[in-house]
A and B are shown apart, each in its own frame.
Chain A
Amino acid sequence: MDFGRVVGKVVCTIKDPKLENLPLLIVEGCDHSGKAAGPRFVAADAIGVGQGEFVWYETSGEAPLAWERLPPVDASIVGIVDSVEAS
């Protein structure tokens, strides 16, 4: 599980049927303060996020489990961060 910021989106016409109606967003890995600290990659959106939003995502074999139909994805956005209280 990691923090990230949505920095773009991807449009694909030809794709696996299980990827239909699945928003594909470009995400930049961040630390808890929102500072960019990781690579950029494509993640599927499970909750409906907007451009620039601070989110967290889950990767690997658990990423498809955000949907019943188990699409072939390896990163899923599963939450929008309202705020982080850090000490």
Chain B
Amino acid sequence: MKLGRVIGSVEATIKHPCYQNTKLMVVQPLDQHQQPKGRSHPAIDTVGAGPGDIVLVVEEGKAAQQMMGQKRIPVRTLIVGIVDAAVLMVGERHNEPGALATG
């Protein structure tokens, strides 16, 4: 799973039937310092995330099929959680908390 920030939404009329009645958001992947890393991509939202939210993104087909309650669908990228806080332990003894991301 990866962390990303929701930066927008996608409108689409023509799409594979399995994408009907889904909400497609634009996610910018983030690195451990909450900085943008890599290019933005679409993801199906299953938790009601909005622009600006830091979210948990899963990229795995079986997880997508379970979340959407359908088998054999061409989907593998889903938003499955809204991140309240993520803390990165730093330092030699791993006991100095450093901010990873907060929502």
Question: B76 and A32: CB pair below 8 A?
Answer: no
**Contact: A31 with B74, CB < 8 Å?**
no
Q: When chains A and B are docked, how far (Å) is the Cα of A76 from the Cα of B61?
A: 14
Q: Which residues of B contact A52 (CB under 8 A)?
A: none
Bound state CA distance, A60 and B76, in angstroms? 9
The 8 A CB mask of B67-83 against A (1 = contact, 0 = none) is 00000111111000000
| Interchain Cβ contacts under 8 Å between A and B, 25 examples | A1-B75, A1-B77, A30-B39, A37-B39, A46-B16, A47-B14, A58-B74, A58-B77, A62-B74, A63-B74, A64-B74, A65-B61, A66-B16, A76-B74, A79-B12, A79-B15, A79-B16, A79-B24, A80-B14, A82-B12, A83-B10, A84-B8, A84-B10, A84-B26, A87-B7
Q: Give 16 A-B pairs besides A32-B7, A56-B24, A80-B13 with Cβ atoms closer than 8 angstroms.
A: A3-B41, A32-B42, A37-B39, A46-B74, A60-B61, A61-B61, A62-B64, A62-B73, A64-B74, A81-B10, A83-B10, A84-B9, A84-B10, A84-B11, A85-B8, A87-B8
Which A positions have Cβ atoms within 8 angstroms of B?
1-3, 29-32, 37-38, 46-49, 56, 58-66, 76, 78-87
